[in-house]
Structure 1
């Protein structure tokens, strides 16, 4: 008996975990269904791209497609351009975000509040909208281009590498700004006051105290912006002027040459940095904190000195004015015949049946996927926070990885899996809903887990003690308390689904076209008026969603 006792003790923890897992069978079944869905709609597409790059599925394992990549100078150019544009865009976005965050968090003027609102405006439009505005201003027949040509002679055009970089800076700026602004707003100002009391001027205080304290937020912002810029798909198509980039080249290989193998190779080069950065951010930065970053002391932010305020205020004014100009160009382009050439007011650009049909499809797909993403995220968050699920950390990692996978890679993966037996879903509304849903459930999951940590488990225990049971407790106690994170997750998913393009562009058909993709096609065809009109409508819808999201966050305290 003594010899066998240690063995029993070793087996007991494992059996206890699985026993507790199946103690509530309906929750266990729900967990298994979620696991299958995560594997099928998040993991499998990424694996399919990886396997396809090695020719698996064509009958043999081969490295020929990687050889084709390394032997083709234009693919090397695409890789170099993508990496270089991502680095430049990230550096400039961080510089702008730090300056504007300093001004917004350390000034209580009306101007600073205006800057805060304007800085978030690019969230309401897909990034390629700014390529459209840049073409209106600086294209071959742009308003500014014509003026410069008449004034100085010669030709000027925004098309090319630097046009893509400029569009990326504007489009991805809010991501960097939100993270850095949040970090600086929650920063304890005591050390900054102490630094100035010891005789350091504010420039030195910012360099030696403020920025080091904000390091975590700055690093996170830089990593996110870099990944998004690296995987940029639409801007190179519109304003790249023939300059090669990885994501756009992968798209052209799929739709133009139907070369899925080589497109998968390009996708692998997009996955690798995204995966490495996601792992680094998840395991090294997620729980990192600095003890002095806290709002508990009640200290007010250190007011800016005149020289610092002038510097950061000037940068903030110039850049936010430029953002406003981008939106103004889209609005003007929607309401005049040919902006810069024939500025007669017109509404004819809105009389576009195909555009309205694509808008209705986008609204339907976005609405359904937002409900599913928020609902699944809430259920998953409850299960992960309260139930003994084997491999919980891995499942959470895989769910959140759906947010990090470049859309181009996910789109190619869905084509590989759902465009043949046993699934024939490509070109249907269902595949669009599934794609958007499982790319967004990570947001609902994080909001739900955060909320569950605020709910005292004693409420559930009391309900169970009164005879309600686990399932009735879930519906009567948990679900009502999870309405705020559900609402926030739903609005965020709806807003981002409306402007999604890089993954669903591979999955549409003539009967399931989406408004963002329709606008992209119009912009590629230089139909500026029609593109601007549909962009204006979409911006109004998404702007309303953003306003509603901020209202929900303010009322409930749930932040996305």
Structure 2
């Protein structure tokens, strides 16, 4: 997903703003309904977590839970582990993304095209799948551990802090890579050619021209990776080896101890960095990459010199091979009895009615959520781009903020709001749909705003002049033109909803379990074969969605 930015279309409020807002009453009513929905399903859960952290709802305002957080080394260690793992993950992901992006954008061979596809593969699986693959390889009975037992020694263990970091690096690599690769690909090559003409070698050109011009994409990628790694709760549960991390501890406090107040405190420490980074990225970095791209940015990028190509090519090859190995391990684990111990071919792992039921639930929930997220996002994008709306900028900010809120925080917030009067929705499919819809609605909004900027207003004006009116114009002119954006938003929302876990894990019940949560539970229980089988099915489904999304992008030019 590209960086989240609100549209630049913003009309200044005036004394007649409300009069113009109500000039088309049905659009005004839809805007109010959408605004109320955004407040209820995005803003309210965040505020509920914040208020709960101060004990509100239990009788009195108190700092007791914050005091406990800072007094107990266990929680401070969770904070330290989360921050340090996120920093290390971000640094390594950025370094790898720069190397792979340089090779992919400045080479025109089969390997470069292959590495570009491999770099996006982790998108088709939940991040914790790589923890499962690492356990298959390096666990106590892992393939590599058994084969090279003497090399690793009895003290070696993939479980713990560094196992979590390694899983996060692989799982969140595509987030940094997509932004950095896009920046390198659209860079003005004339500046690099000019530097070489003036006698600078490629190492100096990279350090003095290329990387400084790409700093906006690099910073945006780093910020997104940091936030996602900080909010990761599934990898610590599977491969953390008992090490405490903020998100996983918040989850355990809710499901294990029913201590919502202390879990809310941990949620506050998750959301504060997300809020700061989201504001920084939205309002400070949004125009900082203008100088990177010019009218000549279509000129072929500068080819890599042999030493540079050898370095970035080697890094790209090793990393791509390791990513492929992760997927191969999961696939093999699905089709053998016990990988590394009993490698007899079997299909028994697929004969799991509970797993198929969870997969059906995920398909149903993801389908409905994606339709709603794309549809509402498209409608909201049209309203924001064409209509006078009081408080438009704030409403747009709140909508897009739904993409930045850590799933753990959103899940706890939904439990606080929808597990009592006036709403009793916890454990229902409806709540799962609402959660996923409003977490993904920003995707449809971005796609719609991007497409609306490409639509000349003269088409709408001509329709109105011919007597169609605003509502008929919307359905006859705007909706057909926004169809590619709707389809792209739908496919992306469906794909990401299928692998979502951090928020819905708080909301499921025995009858509404989802496949990602089911796989997580299997992995925690050490049922590698069953977990691998369901992971394989999910990967195939999401991989088809990713291929469809890329096809839509090529045909329509709509990018998500």
| TM-score using structure 2 length | 0.97
SS at structure 1 position matched to 2:546: helix
Q: Please tell me whether the aligned partners of residues 213 and 291 of structure 2 are also in contact (alpha carbons under 8 angstroms).
A: no
How many residue pairs match? The answer is: 549
CA-to-aligned-CA distance 1:359-387 (integer Å, 9 cap, x gap): 00000000000000000000000000000
Q: Please tell me whether the aligned partners of residues 149 and 155 of structure 1 are also in contact (alpha carbons under 8 angstroms).
A: no
SS at structure 2 position matched to 1:120: helix
CA distance in 1, matches of 2:176, 2:206: 18
CA-to-aligned-CA distance 1:119-149 (integer Å, 9 cap, x gap): 0000000000000000000011111111232
**What is the CA-CA distance between 1:14 and the residue it aligns to?**
4.0
Query: Could you tell me which residue of structure 1 aligns to residue 460 of structure 2?
Result: 460
Q: Please tell me whether the aligned partners of residues 381 and 449 of structure 2 are also in contact (alpha carbons under 8 angstroms).
A: yes
CA-to-aligned-CA distance 1:52-107 (integer Å, 9 cap, x gap): 00011111100001011111100000000000000000000000000000000000
**What is the CA-CA distance between 1:409 and the residue it aligns to?**
0.1
Q: Please tell me whether the aligned partners of residues 127 and 171 of structure 2 are also in contact (alpha carbons under 8 angstroms).
A: yes
Query: Could you tell me which residue of structure 2 aligns to residue 470 of structure 1?
Result: 470
SS at structure 2 position matched to 1:343: strand
Q: Please tell me whether the aligned partners of residues 186 and 298 of structure 2 are also in contact (alpha carbons under 8 angstroms).
A: no
**What is the CA-CA distance between 1:289 and the residue it aligns to?**
2.2
**What is the CA-CA distance between 1:535 and the residue it aligns to?**
0.1
SS at structure 1 position matched to 2:56: coil
Structure 1 residues 12-21 or 188-197, which shifts more? 12-21
Query: Could you tell me which residue of structure 2 aligns to residue 244 of structure 1?
Result: 244
Matched, 1:123 2:123: yes
SS at structure 2 position matched to 1:156: coil
CA distance in 1, matches of 2:179, 2:341: 41
**What is the CA-CA distance between 1:263 and the residue it aligns to?**
0.2
CA distance in 2, matches of 1:21, 1:141: 65
Query: Could you tell me which residue of structure 1 aligns to residue 233 of structure 2?
Result: 233
CA-to-aligned-CA distance 1:434-482 (integer Å, 9 cap, x gap): 0000000001101101110110111111101111010000000000000
**What is the CA-CA distance between 1:43 and the residue it aligns to?**
0.1
Query: Could you tell me which residue of structure 2 aligns to residue 304 of structure 1?
Result: 304
Query: Could you tell me which residue of structure 1 aligns to residue 263 of structure 2?
Result: 263
> Where do residues 457-536 of structure 1 align in structure 2 (5 Å cutoff)?
457-536=457-536
CA distance in 1, matches of 2:61, 2:511: 37
CA distance in 1, matches of 2:470, 2:460: 8
Query: Could you tell me which residue of structure 1 aligns to residue 158 of structure 2?
Result: 158
Query: Could you tell me which residue of structure 1 aligns to residue 359 of structure 2?
Result: 359
Query: Could you tell me which residue of structure 2 aligns to residue 212 of structure 1?
Result: 212
Matched, 1:554 2:554: yes
Is the alpha carbon distance of 1:247 and 1:152 closer, same or farther for their aligned partners in structure 2, counting shifts above 3 Å?
closer
Is the alpha carbon distance of 1:153 and 1:383 closer, same or farther for their aligned partners in structure 2, counting shifts above 3 Å?
closer
CA distance in 1, matches of 2:284, 2:122: 29
SS at structure 1 position matched to 2:148: helix
CA distance in 2, matches of 1:437, 1:286: 26
CA-to-aligned-CA distance 1:266-322 (integer Å, 9 cap, x gap): 000001000000000000011222424235354211000000000000000000000
CA distance in 2, matches of 1:151, 1:57: 56
Q: Please tell me whether the aligned partners of residues 128 and 234 of structure 2 are also in contact (alpha carbons under 8 angstroms).
A: yes
SS at structure 1 position matched to 2:337: strand
Q: Please tell me whether the aligned partners of residues 145 and 152 of structure 2 are also in contact (alpha carbons under 8 angstroms).
A: no
In structure 1, stretches of 5+ residues that fail to align are: 1-11
CA-to-aligned-CA distance 1:225-274 (integer Å, 9 cap, x gap): 00000000100000000000000000000000000000000000001000
Q: Please tell me whether the aligned partners of residues 93 and 169 of structure 1 are also in contact (alpha carbons under 8 angstroms).
A: yes
Query: Could you tell me which residue of structure 2 aligns to residue 66 of structure 1?
Result: 66
Query: Could you tell me which residue of structure 1 aligns to residue 331 of structure 2?
Result: 331
SS at structure 2 position matched to 1:291: helix
Larger radius of gyration: 1
| TM-score using structure 1 length | 0.97
Query: Could you tell me which residue of structure 1 aligns to residue 439 of structure 2?
Result: 439
Q: Please tell me whether the aligned partners of residues 187 and 297 of structure 2 are also in contact (alpha carbons under 8 angstroms).
A: no
**What is the CA-CA distance between 1:15 and the residue it aligns to?**
3.7
> Where do residues 20-419 of structure 1 align in structure 2 (5 Å cutoff)?
20-151=20-151, 153-294=153-294, 296=296, 298-419=298-419
CA distance in 1, matches of 2:470, 2:377: 19
CA distance in 1, matches of 2:13, 2:299: 48
Is the alpha carbon distance of 1:77 and 1:152 closer, same or farther for their aligned partners in structure 2, counting shifts above 3 Å?
closer
RMSD: 1.0
Is the alpha carbon distance of 1:319 and 1:34 closer, same or farther for their aligned partners in structure 2, counting shifts above 3 Å?
same
**What is the CA-CA distance between 1:151 and the residue it aligns to?**
4.6
**What is the CA-CA distance between 1:13 and the residue it aligns to?**
6.7
CA distance in 2, matches of 1:255, 1:95: 37
Is the alpha carbon distance of 1:244 and 1:152 closer, same or farther for their aligned partners in structure 2, counting shifts above 3 Å?
closer
SS at structure 1 position matched to 2:156: coil
Q: Please tell me whether the aligned partners of residues 189 and 301 of structure 1 are also in contact (alpha carbons under 8 angstroms).
A: yes
Q: Please tell me whether the aligned partners of residues 186 and 295 of structure 1 are also in contact (alpha carbons under 8 angstroms).
A: no
CA distance in 2, matches of 1:209, 1:554: 30
Is the alpha carbon distance of 1:71 and 1:153 closer, same or farther for their aligned partners in structure 2, counting shifts above 3 Å?
closer
CA distance in 2, matches of 1:148, 1:328: 19
CA distance in 2, matches of 1:156, 1:261: 38
CA distance in 1, matches of 2:154, 2:509: 43
**What is the CA-CA distance between 1:220 and the residue it aligns to?**
0.1
CA distance in 1, matches of 2:113, 2:311: 18
Structure 1 residues 149-158 or 453-462, which shifts more? 149-158
SS at structure 1 position matched to 2:291: coil
